[in-house]
Structure 1
Amino acid sequence: MPDLRNRAGEPTGAVYGMVNMLRRLRADYHTDDVRTNCIACVFDAPGKTFRDDIYPEYKANRASMPEDLAAQIPHIHEVTRALGWPIVMEPGIEADDVIGTLAHVALQQGFDEVIVSTGDKDMAQLVNDKVRLVDTMKNAVMTRDAVFEKFGVYPEQIIDYLTLVGDTVDNVPGVEKVGPKTAAKWLAEYKTLDGVVANADKIGGKVGENLQKALDWLPTGKSLVTIKTDCEFELRRHIEEQLKAHPENNEELKQLFQRFEFKTWFRALGGVGEEEVAAKPKVEGPPDGSSMSLFDAPTQAVDSIETVCVQNQEQLTALMVELKAAADSKTAVAFDTETDSLEPMNARIVGLSFAVKPGVGYYIPLTHQDLTAEPQLPIDEVLAFLKPWFEDADSPKIAQNAKYDLHVMANHDVWVQGLMEDTMLASYILEAHKPHGMDALALRWLNYNTIKFEDVAGKGASQVTFDQVSIDTATRYAAEDAEVTLRLAHVLKAELDKVPELAKLYHEVELPFGQVLFEVERNGVLIDAAKLDAQSAEIAEKLKRIEEQAFEMAGGSFNLNSPKQIGELLFEKLGLPVVKKTASGAPSTDEEVLSKLAEDYPLPAKLLEHRSLAKLKSTYTDKLPRMVNERTGRVHTNYAQAVAVTGRLASNDPNLQNIPVRTAEGRRVREAFIAAPGCVLVSADYSQIELRIMAHISGDEALINAFNEGLDIHSATASEIFGVGLNEVTSDHRRTAKVINFGLIYGMSAFGLAGNLGITREAAKLYIDRYFSRYPGVARFMDSVRAQAKEDGYVQTVFGRRLWLPEIKSPNGPRRAGAERAAINAPMQGTSADLIKMAMVQLSAWLKTEKLQTKMIMQVHDEVILEVPKGELELIQRRVPEIMTQVAQLRVPLEVGCGMGNNWEEAH
């Protein structure tokens, strides 16, 4: 189960999984039907069973139950009962035997069918014409034929099969070296275990010898793997009476779902009921109903939201009076836009909503296609009337995902000033690992269940644009958005103020950076569509040649885009080794597998080359020319500011951060990003920024000295690891050191390093040990940051950003290991993200102060790209690196590379 936790830190993943499975079973098998209305959830009772007496080593190898799971067992029992399931626990009898007995007795008592929900292979012995197994985790149903298909034996042979194979999970020995295929083969020939034993002297080879050795053990082994169907316990006599399915207890479930923060299920049971409202006020505001400054404390609860539809000039004027009064008192007003599109550069306003005080929301419908002929004010007149307020920097404003609203208003030549709060960004700073949509925030922070967009506009193919929503419905939805945003701003500000570091990061970095991103997106970038078209044609020709070469290697044609056909070709026809399997058990053909196979076989290398080029063509060379905005003639990406837990940006439509730069074709795509006439592109990026941050955070003297002395850090590391002078470092030494330097800050293990360098794991471990002996501060940092992550659930950047690691205490080993690796890198990556944001905020301010025509047009991780008039080039090349390197003082100097050219590739 996922490592889910509620706000109190309690693990909830197993509870979540149980609810999912039990509800699905009841839905799939109609347990409210009178003919199938007996159900039970069977748990092991504490204490020993008869198997422990037969074989003291039974289950001796099992690890103890993880603490997080043990803590959830009482809650699992609670939620199981609340879901209407009778619970069965019989002392001295394993759950398997209870299930086996109940299944057997139920059929004796006249039940038509028994469904056993389990993923345990031992249970296959219970299957017959009236007993089926269901695995809800894999969505699989096990019938008699399915048992044979999976194991190669029928249900009545499963006990004998398990006796021969043994059960490593339960520490039950089988016949040494006898696996599933051998056991199935013997039982196909001799039918039963007795038949195998009777013919043991006919079975030759090593397995025959092992069978002879195991003959005395086999009866004991058989008794251990046999599920008993005749256990004596009182309940077996009262199945129909004691195991009746009960309806779900909604009130109890609602309390449990609220405690565990299963919000979707909680809402489905009525969302915020009266009990929740009393416990946590829905709407907070002053007792006299006056406007609330963000700096005032709430004093009482308001029970409901009043929504006002502004449809005439008198109402609009009255609203404007409220907006001006709020501005005079420096009270922030929440606003929101309703539009006909989610594309920021193209969206047009359908209506505007405002909230001046808690409990009241206003909506101005402007371009609804309302068939009821409800009155609407002319959009141009309304925007002209409100433009001075929107563009007044002294009228403080609040928005949710403000960057989108800024674009929408700018599309109508209204340039919003005075943004004081963005609730999405406030949430992101507080809890980057959680959702930041308004609906989620309202439930999380206000315990308020909002009207959803799907509720007013429909879902899927039947969904309409907002201008087709009736004005009455739109008013309730839109006015609520603004009112909820106002309250969220107050609550989130109070939370931020509890942690001054986070409040500073929000107000001085994240919030102003949102404004900078708006400008960068608005500026856009020019592309050479003709060049991209030519590249597409060339790639198409190359793909055709690769396809022909692949067909020749394969000895026939196949679909290069079909994982199924590729799998059959590689692993069945050509007999290549299976590296790993998919969740369904089929051999995987993903990139990792093909890369591994490509080390020894030419065809996988061709398939990788084909995939890479095909993706480049479909994602960039074909698509980019179609993404040019008709109005501006430029491509405008959208930077998602509140997605990555490290603070980094995500770029989409188009994704400018994933253009491959290690291939010639990928670099040529960058050549199509060009400067405007009379301009050049300048690329400024931090050099080896994460290693410099590692030196600063770890405080390692050797690493700090290397940077302060201006040494090549990879050569300096090579000198330390290989024990040679700097002038004796070879290119191979430096390459190895570079992999180690970057690998270790990403938490790379000796196994990973060995794979990267093509050396043995022992050699890789030796390199790592030498590295840490030369840079002991780095080792200490890594140990301390892991400990901090496990203690706090997060690590921090140099500037106090909290980088949450929800899986750091996961009982799942690989997930926990992944979180531990992330804990090491996250402070570097997060600090790097903070630095580039701080730098861009300062660059934007400087460009405005100097009244320069230079524009920032792109950001890719540690790099910012500017479009620079040639007359400003000398100044930009001098000042931009200065601003970027002086944005913060670390223990080592920051360094910025600055290149220029007519296109991005030349400048980079």
Structure 2
Amino acid sequence: MTNKLVLIDGNSLIYRAFFALPLLNNDKGVYTNAVYGFTKLIMRILEEEKPTHLLVAFDAGKTTFRHKTYKEYKGGRQKTPPELSEQFPLAKELLDAFNIPHYQLEQYEADDIIGTLAGAVNTKDWKVKVISGDQDMLQLVSPSVTVDVTKKGISEVESYTPAFLQEKMGLRPEQIIDLKALMGDSSDNIPGVRGVGIKTATKLLGQYNTIESVYDHLEDISGKRLKENLVTYQKEAFLSKQLATINCESPIELTVNDLAYNGYESKDVFTIFKELGFQSLLDKMDHSGSVNEEKILQSVDYTLVEQITSEMFTGNETLIIEMLHENYHQATIEGVAIVNDANKYFIPAAAAINSSVFKEWAENERNKKYVYDAKGTVVSLLRHGIHIKGITFDLLLASYLINPAENNQDIPSIGKRMGYEEVRFDEEVYGKGAKMKVPEQPILAEHLIRKANTIHSVKHRVEEELKKNEQFKLYKELEMPLALILGEMEHRGVSVDRTRLDKMHVELKERLQTIENKIYGLAGETFNVNSPKQLGSILFEKLELPVIKKTKTGYSTAAEVLEKLEGEHEIISQILLYRQLGKLQSTYIEGLLKVIDEGKIHTRFNQALTQTGRLSSTEPNLQNIPIRLEEGRKIRQAFVPSNNDWVIFAADYSQIELRVLAHIAEDEKLIAAFKDNLDIHTQTAMDVFHVDKNDVDANMRRQAKAVNFGIVYGISDYGLSQNLGITRKEAKHFIDRYFMSYPGVKAYMDEIVQEAKHKGYVTTLMNRRRYLPEITSRNFNQRSFAERTAMNTPIQGSAADIIKKAMIDLSLKLKTDKLQAKLLLQVHDELILEAPKDEVEKLKQIVPQMMEQTVELMVPLKVDYAYGDSWFDAK
């Protein structure tokens, strides 16, 4: 029998998973994206590889035996983000649940552990599979050792055998070490030979076999500069070979026999999936941990309705408007379910939207409706000429307020948390991806009735939870009214002048062509500017610019690398501009042109997504149109009023988060500065630098501004140093000076952290909660992140609450005063309206008034406004 040993590079794969997946966290506020990606990879390995022996190897620490040879080894690496480092202990807990051995050895790296074990079983009775994201491992390839290297994130791998390595790279496994010796590796700070990239190194090894032979034949090597570099950096080359060589005789304390793998207990895996909040993985298991192919649910009775009558309604109904796709601006209504205390009804879509009785019931505000996603319900029916009113309960918003960190806010997940499980997940009924389809009517009807039953059954309990948390007012008076306003805004959409966008598209295309030609002229040849490989060859081989960073495949041409080279050659600034304008063209101009529908764009505002309560925008994201470049700002010229003789009117809160901070912290000096209408950044510069107002220069004010807003976001000295390009010591000095100048802010920061430790959560001015279970963690990184979050959430969240209330107050005022002006967009701290020109004078009064007086703080809220023929002109 052949044994199969699978050796996994834990650090490499967790790192790759972190950057491959969006930053996710569970209901406890713990980041889980890296662990989630790693988990899926582990499950795939167990299923596909079926190992008889298994180990996950980890690096033991920052210092290894290689540092004795070269103390700068790995010296250029950026500090591991705390959001990643806090996930390593979780990954090891997960491996324990799977009964998978993991190991680390002081002074050695995971590569060395893997190399030693792979070499220990180099016989015909064993097959070895090494899995890593690091091409260094390719030196271990042999007839019995295959190395899988992750290619795209962690979802794709390339399997290297000796034959494939030869075909792909033209090298034998032992030559990988020589390759690294010649070209170096910036990620590990291995120096190599300056000016030698993967192309040159591979060519040299093809000719001379080893690095030693390269140096034996120096006189035969063509190219004056290459020869000079090989001579100059000979010491570095042989040092690099030593550093790059995996130690296959590491003094590990385990043997292959210790790695026998006999599977895992399902209940252990189920438990950790539940703790980590991996709902999609949990859904495939029952509570014992076994795979759950089909849930057995109680039968439901309902009436199929083809003709709607008024007798069906009691005045308190739960309503489901079912669409398969998230974008309710385009999705087809597949069916309607109505449940009340007396009956349960399934109504085919056409029978509902074409019924005058249904329309009359829906538009009567006295008829109370309970729904899931009020905003989506409003928009979906407005598309069919039905303006639903009387929505008094929204399960999505209510559940979101109870715990905004909860990743799964669909009806079955909420029902489960509330003790009601008589409903299937949509994927079970419709399938997913390309296989998604509407089932036969009886299956669809039963699913919709179960959804409506869930809402009807848990409504009372959810409302009681909100009242217990003192959040019912936030829910009823802020989020619910706002959902209906947002629904009307989204349906109304924003008018777009397609002609202007088309013109910008043509102009930008011509501009890009001009820049491209200029790049070709500076390079002395044509090439694919968008190809990192070709660009790297031009910059670092032909133009001989200094190599800042190398990747596994050659030279890095990332933005941060090019920015460091900007003064070295004129071509760099042109490439950076080309990239910026190229992204503007493809992502924004072409992206917007694709979604124009009858002259308008209809975004969706995510009301139940962010943990701070801020709205975000999607499909398309109109909050994120870039405005740093003039060409980006000009995109706003295409956003115009929907009527002639109308204008776009924009109103923006000035420094709202700093004003909220002054109020919450009750800092006398900060309050006085805002009351006296001082420039807060100049004032902070005066305090931090101990200078008079007249001595504050532009750089001082810029640094003070970074400190001001950094404090709001709980910035560390490291973060501030990165923002300002200064040392951590200088950054710490700035922060310390700030707290000395504003002691109330320091006292608030200390108190709110203690309050979070005591309660387990923090709240905004309007009682929005954010839970912080990691605030008492023994893990320094987890605890530090939670502490920063405790400091900034009440500020950011309160600012979000204030602008939401302003939208409600302003919307009501526009209706009360019978104005034609309409809200179009909310972009961070700004509200965008459209209005007839003859209403502008009125808006100049009421918009700032409503926004500034929406809440009463210790400092005045200040609103700036502007208007014009387009969004661009309203500045």
Q: Is 1:391 matched with 2:363?
A: yes
Q: Is 1:430 matched with 2:378?
A: no
1:308 is matched with which residue?
Answer: 302
Shift of the 847–127 alpha-carbon distance from structure 1 to 2, 3 Å rule, reads: closer
Shift of the 98–708 alpha-carbon distance from structure 1 to 2, 3 Å rule, reads: closer
How many angstroms does 1:858 deviate by?
A: 1.6
Shift of the 564–837 alpha-carbon distance from structure 1 to 2, 3 Å rule, reads: farther
- Aligned equivalents of 1:788, 1:112: Cα separation in 2: 58
CA contact (8 A) 1:718 1:733 kept: yes
1:883 is matched with which residue?
Answer: 850
Q: Is 1:515 matched with 2:484?
A: yes
How many angstroms does 1:642 deviate by?
A: 1.9
Shift of the 852–750 alpha-carbon distance from structure 1 to 2, 3 Å rule, reads: same
2:69 is matched with which residue?
Answer: none
Q: Is 1:356 matched with 2:324?
A: no
Q: Is 1:79 matched with 2:62?
A: no
2:278 is matched with which residue?
Answer: 262
- The C-alpha deviation readout for 1:248-287, integer Å capped at 9, x for no partner, is 65566545544554333332235799999xxxxx9xxxxx
| 1:103-182 matches, cutoff 5 A | 111-115=125-129, 128-132=142-146, 139=157
2:803 is matched with which residue?
Answer: 836
SS at match of 1:608: helix
- Aligned equivalents of 1:157, 1:444: Cα separation in 2: 53
1:29 is matched with which residue?
Answer: 49
- Could you tell me which of 539, 545, 559 is aligned with 2:514? 545
CA contact (8 A) 1:353 1:361 kept: yes
- Could you tell me which of 642, 665, 668 is aligned with 1:701? 668
How many angstroms does 1:712 deviate by?
A: 1.7
How many angstroms does 1:76 deviate by?
A: 3.9
Shift of the 342–128 alpha-carbon distance from structure 1 to 2, 3 Å rule, reads: closer
| 1:46-125 matches, cutoff 5 A | 76-80=95-99, 111-115=125-129
- Could you tell me which of 372, 378, 389 is aligned with 1:400? 372
SS at match of 1:642: coil
2:638 is matched with which residue?
Answer: 672
CA contact (8 A) 1:671 1:906 kept: yes
Amino acid at match of 2:367: S
Shift of the 393–555 alpha-carbon distance from structure 1 to 2, 3 Å rule, reads: same
Structure 2 residue runs without a partner (length 5+):
1-13, 66-79, 189-200, 215-230
1:716 is matched with which residue?
Answer: 683
Amino acid at match of 1:269: M
CA contact (8 A) 2:35 2:87 kept: no
- Aligned equivalents of 1:345, 1:845: Cα separation in 2: 25
Shift of the 347–133 alpha-carbon distance from structure 1 to 2, 3 Å rule, reads: closer
Q: Is 1:486 matched with 2:460?
A: no
SS at match of 1:268: coil
SS at match of 1:907: coil
Shift of the 345–24 alpha-carbon distance from structure 1 to 2, 3 Å rule, reads: closer
- Aligned equivalents of 2:104, 2:863: Cα separation in 1: 67
- Aligned equivalents of 2:176, 2:496: Cα separation in 1: 69
Q: Is 1:608 matched with 2:576?
A: yes
CA contact (8 A) 2:138 2:176 kept: no
CA contact (8 A) 1:399 1:422 kept: yes
- The C-alpha deviation readout for 1:573-605, integer Å capped at 9, x for no partner, is 4344455566x5654434444334335543232
Q: Is 1:654 matched with 2:620?
A: yes
Shift of the 619–72 alpha-carbon distance from structure 1 to 2, 3 Å rule, reads: closer
CA contact (8 A) 2:478 2:804 kept: yes
Amino acid at match of 1:263: Q
Amino acid at match of 1:226: E
- Aligned equivalents of 1:412, 1:453: Cα separation in 2: 24
- Could you tell me which of 19, 39, 51 is aligned with 2:53? 39
- Aligned equivalents of 2:605, 2:24: Cα separation in 1: 28
Higher Cα Rg, which structure: 1
RMSD: 5.2
Which 10-residue stretch deviates more, 303-312 or 749-758?
Answer: 749-758
CA contact (8 A) 2:86 2:782 kept: no
Amino acid at match of 2:707: I
SS at match of 2:347: strand
CA contact (8 A) 2:29 2:771 kept: no
CA contact (8 A) 1:858 1:864 kept: yes
Amino acid at match of 2:487: F
- The C-alpha deviation readout for 1:395-436, integer Å capped at 9, x for no partner, is 221222221111121122221111112222122222223232
| 1:437-836 matches, cutoff 5 A | 437-446=410-419, 448=421, 450-461=423-434, 463-464=436-437, 466=438, 469-500=439-470, 502-579=471-548, 587-598=555-566, 600-624=568-592, 627-630=595-598, 633-675=599-641, 676-750=643-717, 753=720, 756-757=723-724, 763-785=730-752, 795-803=762-770, 824-836=791-803
Q: TM-score, normalised by structure 2?
A: 0.75
CA contact (8 A) 1:125 1:156 kept: yes
SS at match of 2:605: strand
- Could you tell me which of 321, 327, 333 is aligned with 2:317? 333
1:323 is matched with which residue?
Answer: 313
- Aligned equivalents of 1:852, 1:28: Cα separation in 2: 65
CA contact (8 A) 2:422 2:450 kept: no
Amino acid at match of 1:704: I
SS at match of 1:831: helix
CA contact (8 A) 1:68 1:811 kept: no
Q: TM-score, normalised by structure 1?
A: 0.72
2:195 is matched with which residue?
Answer: none
CA contact (8 A) 1:12 1:72 kept: no
SS at match of 2:365: coil
CA contact (8 A) 2:115 2:247 kept: no
Which 10-residue stretch deviates more, 562-571 or 530-539?
Answer: 562-571
CA contact (8 A) 2:378 2:488 kept: no
Q: How many residues align?
A: 783
- Aligned equivalents of 1:888, 1:656: Cα separation in 2: 27
- Aligned equivalents of 1:101, 1:730: Cα separation in 2: 60
* Sequence identity (%): 36
- Aligned equivalents of 2:445, 2:654: Cα separation in 1: 52
Which 10-residue stretch deviates more, 259-268 or 656-665?
Answer: 259-268
How many angstroms does 1:112 deviate by?
A: 4.7
How many angstroms does 1:568 deviate by?
A: 3.6
Amino acid at match of 1:838: K
Shift of the 127–272 alpha-carbon distance from structure 1 to 2, 3 Å rule, reads: closer
Shift of the 543–156 alpha-carbon distance from structure 1 to 2, 3 Å rule, reads: closer
Which 10-residue stretch deviates more, 124-133 or 736-745?
Answer: 124-133
How many angstroms does 1:143 deviate by?
A: 5.3
1:298 is matched with which residue?
Answer: none
How many angstroms does 1:690 deviate by?
A: 1.7
CA contact (8 A) 1:683 1:866 kept: yes
